[in-house]
């Protein structure tokens, strides 16, 4: 049975695992390693330490389905809607630009529930706080090392983490990447930003007429969402949650500053936009060093095969675009590349 390692438990990695389980002609042993403490990647959903039922989406806020992908990826949307993982976004978002035929969706349990659904479908062995540091070639297999613990060997490796992290890997992989491949990988560019999640006590009222609002006149703040209101979840037992996304210029300027200092700056700006905002019980500040892909490699076709025997392939939004359909496209391209290997 082929041993397959998928690095990264975001949308591309989790969907790759689910598709491999479903589509490959013979059984494979699937392993997923994620450096964070939970799955989700850029679809991360944070929980309040005071009440796990209170959640906030710190990454993607909603999914926009265009007419093109409504047809091309219909089966993926149909499955998630049938399971109640997605539902139409009906709450008011001020400043949202809608194009004809587009449809927006939210996830009642937070967008990380999409990733968790695919991981569950895959039956993969998932490990968190596993940061890959080195990949070596050993007897026609990949020996993969992480920060702690012994190295493990795999027949196939799929890398779905942000592209700069692929370029930071040590070991034989650094020499096996061709100059052309390196140029393609180095051409990927990301924006950076911060997100601040705020959790409130049950019964707290945040009196605004919208569920989300795009801000155009503030150097720090780009988007605010009353997250439970965005998902149409009102409860007397669970307090509201709010998320702020910063502008990219703010994210770039403060990228190397302490999270505590940045949290304070974001909160000060939030209070100026929403004066009289109640005090949160707890907050969670998230740095998105690799937020959204600004430029992907030309002619990457959703994946980049770095080595054929044994097989090592890269996928993720770095090879398409930073949205749901970009990740689905990449996962499908990775699956196509792997079909002849398994």
The CATH number of whichever domain residue 200 belongs to comes to: 3.90.660.10
Of 15-19, 96-100, 208-212, 280-284, the least confident: 96-100
Are residues 325 and 229 located together in one domain of the fold? Answer: no
Residue 289 pLDDT = 97
Residue 340 pLDDT level (bands cut at 50, 70, 90): confident
pLDDT recorded at residue 101: 96
Q: Domain for residue 103, yes or no?
A: no
CA atoms of 100 and 110, how far apart (whole Å): 26
85 inside domain: no
Does residue 205 lie in a domain region?
yes
Percentage of the chain exceeding pLDDT 90: 93
Domain that includes residue 284, residue range = 190-294
- How confident is the model at residue 102, as a pLDDT? 97
- How many domains is the chain partitioned into structurally? 2
| In 59-192, beta strands by DSSP E | 63-65, 87-88, 93-94, 103-106, 125-128, 132-138, 141-146, 152-154, 156-159, 189-190
Residues 225 and 271 grouped into a single domain: yes
- Cβ-Cβ contacts under 8 Å for 125 (sequence gap 6 or more): 29, 30, 31, 32
CATH classification at residue 153: 3.50.50.60
Looking at the structure, do residues 236 and 194 belong to the same domain, yes or no?
yes
Indicate if 306 and 290 belong to the same structural domain: no
At residue 339, the pLDDT reads: 86
| Whether residue 31 is found in the same domain as residue 158 | yes
What whole-number percentage of the chain has pLDDT above 70?
A: 100
| Residue 313: other Cβ atoms inside 10 A | 21
Are 86 and 341 a contacting pair, CB within 8 Å? Answer: no
pLDDT of residue 225: 97
Residues 6+ away with beta carbon under 8 Å from 329: 302, 320
pLDDT band (50, 70, 90) for residue 82: very high
Residues 136, 284, single domain; the answer is: no
Better pLDDT: 331 or 27: 331
In angstroms, the CA 312 to CA 310 distance is 7
Tell me if 110 is assigned to some domain.
no
Same domain, 209 and 238: yes
Contact (Cβ atoms closer than 8 angstroms) between residue 302 and residue 120: no
Residue 145 and residue 203 in one domain = no
In a domain, 115, yes or no: no
Same structural domain for residues 145 and 247? no
- The 10s digit of each residue's pLDDT in 245-276 is 999 999 999 999 999 999 999 999 999 999 99
The pTM score is 0.96
Residue 321 belongs to some domain of the structure: yes
Q: Per-residue confidence at 47, pLDDT binned at 50, 70, 90?
A: very high
146 and 251 share a domain?
no
pLDDT of residue 234: 83
The packing angle between helices 324-339 and 11-23, to 10°, is 40
Q: Are residues 139 and 27 in the same domain?
A: yes
Do 135 and 36 contact (CB within 8 A), yes or no?
A: no
Average pLDDT over the chain, rounded to whole?
96
Quick check: is 107 in a domain? no
Same domain, 133 and 264: no
Residue 316 lies in a domain: yes
């Amino acid at each position: 049975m082929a041993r397959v390692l998928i690095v990264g438990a975001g949308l591309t990695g989790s969907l790759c695992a689910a598709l491999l389980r479903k589509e490959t002609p013979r059984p494979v042993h699937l392993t997923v390693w994620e450096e964070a403490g939970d799955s989700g990647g850029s679809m991360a959903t944070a929980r309040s330490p005071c009440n796990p039922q209170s959640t906030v989406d710190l990454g993607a806020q909603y999914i926009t389905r265009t007419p093109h992908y409504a047809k091309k990826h219909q089966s993926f949307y149909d499955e998630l809607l049938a399971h109640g993982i997605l539902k139409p976004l009906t709450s008011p978002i001020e400043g949202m630009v809608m194009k004809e035929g587009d449809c927006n969706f939210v996830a009642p349990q937070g967008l990380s529930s999409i990733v968790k659904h695919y991981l569950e479908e895959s039956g993969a062995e998932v490990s968190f706080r596993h940061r890959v540091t080195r990949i070596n070639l050993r007897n026609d297999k990949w020996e993969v090392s992480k920060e702690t613990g012994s190295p493990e060997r795999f027949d196939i490796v799929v890398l779905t983490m942000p592209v700069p992290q692929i370029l930071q890997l040590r070991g034989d992989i650094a020499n096996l990447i061709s100059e052309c491949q390196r140029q393609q990988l180095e051409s990927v560019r990301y924006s950076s930003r911060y997100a601040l999640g705020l959790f409130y006590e049950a019964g707290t009222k945040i009196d605004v007429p919208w569920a989300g609002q795009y801000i155009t006149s503030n150097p720090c703040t780009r988007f605010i969402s009353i997250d439970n209101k965005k998902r149409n979840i009102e409860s007397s037992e669970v307090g509201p949650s709010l998320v702020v996304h910063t502008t990219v210029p703010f994210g770039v300027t403060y990228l190397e500053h302490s999270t505590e200092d940045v949290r304070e700056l974001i909160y000060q700006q939030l209070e100026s936009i929403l004066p009289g905002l109640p005090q949160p019980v707890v907050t969670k500040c998230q740095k998105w060093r690799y937020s959204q892909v600004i430029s992907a490699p030309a002619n990457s076709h959703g994946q980049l095969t770095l080595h054929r025997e044994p097989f090592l392939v890269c996928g993720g939004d770095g090879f398409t675009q930073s949205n749901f359909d970009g990740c689905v496209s990449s996962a499908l391209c990775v699956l196509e590349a792997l079909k002849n290997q398994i």
